[in-house]
Amino acid sequence: MNLTLATDDTGAPEIFASLQGEGPSMGVPVAFVRLSRCNLACVWCDTAYTWRFEGDNRPHRDGVTFDRKANQVVLSAQDTAARIAALGQRRLVITGGEPLLQAGALAEILTHLPDIAVEIETNGTVAPPARLDVRVDQYNVSPKLSHSGNPADLALLPARLDTWAADPRAFLKFVIATPEDVDEVLALQRRYRFRPERVFLMAEGTTTAAQRERQAWLSDLCLTHGFRMSDRLHIHLYGDTRGT
């Protein structure tokens, strides 16, 4: 079974070792694999090269489209697993794009990596099949608020959010651009009974300056509502670059 991956700046598959930059595992050494394709289209997405290919008219604030052939590469599950294992890390983060669109191939990859802990970063709209779900240690679920530009009937699916709220492996991570975005998070929390200690608020921004400006007021809102605040460590260390 094959997997469609994003590419790094050299055109190689985006499989690399780094520190996890966001969420509950921030700062942990991990292997990353970034998959291509997404079923949503966030206007501020910082990995638009995984989905906004030429001919895709879904809006993005940069207005840039990418050549599909230059930004996708297909590997077998076994080859992908071998490249991940060669990085020598004890934890794997599978990100995208939306990785659960390729759940079948992911399940096969993980059969070749039985001793590695697995995190999946997902927008929360796709249900993982049992053969994959059984191999996942942590879900980093990032439901998309209205400022993402995605319609709520596509981005906020009640049945999926109910399931994530009940899954002890799932952490909810919300991208925040303005204080009003936190009001949306609070409404979702009340409806789906998210436990505050499993909710992360993360400032939107792809520079240290943008992060720090928003974190100045976001930290107070986290204190007020009992949420956790996520930084974007990789932005401070490496900038907004691929393969980091």
Which pLDDT does position 82 carry in this prediction?
98
**Half-sphere exposure (CA, 13 Å, Cβ side) for 18?**
22
pLDDT score for 159: 98
The pLDDT tens digits for 47-68 are: 999 999 999 999 999 999 999 9
| Assigned domain for 12 exists | yes
Mean pLDDT of 99-103: 98
Residue 243 belongs to a domain: no
Query: pLDDT class for 33, splitting at 50, 70, 90?
Result: very high
Percent above pLDDT 90 for the chain: 100
Average pLDDT, integer, range 172-181: 98
Half-sphere exposure of 194 (CA within 13 A, CB side): 31
Domain count across the chain: 1
Residue 70 belongs to a domain with what CATH number? Answer: 3.20.20.70
* Mean pLDDT (whole number) for 154-181: 98
Q: What is the pTM of this model?
A: 0.97
Range of the domain at 44: 2-238
Query: What whole-number distance in Å separates Cα of residue 149 and Cα of residue 160?
Result: 19
Average pLDDT, the chain: 97
